[in-house]
Amino acid sequence: GNSVTQMEGPVTLSEEAFLTINCTYTATGYPSLFWYVQYPGEGLQLLLKATKADDKGSNKGFEATYRKETTSFHLEKGSVQVSDSAVYFCALVSGGSNYKLTFGKGTLLTVNP
């Protein structure tokens, strides 16, 4: 079956530091990959996505590249802000018509001023 493994948190950084949150996956076929973000007290929001190998998703300064050879989709940001403090979830949807999301366990990021 499908699975997503992301680095365990919590991750604590100072403002303007570089961020990497690792995500690897196991899936049949060619999945679409996502990063969702959950700000305190809110639901999940789609942050970025990639639908095929070597695609790069980007949004709000965050980037992630779909690496089929390493089955990875690591999230990066060059300079984090306090407002980036949130829980980040890596997720995938496998091929076919069911569109069921499989989530990683989430990584809590705290950015200090």
Partner 1 sequence: DADVTQTPRNRITKTGKRIMLECSQTKGHDRMYWYRQDPGLGLRLIYYSFDVKDINKGEISDGYSVSRQAQAKFSLSLESAIPNQTALYFCATSDTATTRANEQFFGPGTRLTVL
Given the rule CB under 8 A, which residues bind partner 1?
A: 32, 34, 36, 42-46, 49, 51, 89, 93, 97, 99-101, 103-106
Pick 50 or 111: Cβ nearer partner 1: 50
Which amino acid is it at 13? L
Least separation in angstroms between residue 80's CB and partner 1 is 22
Least separation in angstroms between residue 91's CB and partner 1 is 8
Number of C-beta neighbours around residue 96 at 10 A: 9
Least separation in angstroms between residue 16's CB and partner 1 is 29
Pick the closest to residue 37 from 55, 60, 65 (CA basis): 60
Pick 41 or 113: Cβ nearer partner 1: 41
- Residue 83's φ and ψ, nearest 5 degrees, are -70, -10
100 Cβ neighbours under 8 A, 6+ residues apart: 93, 94
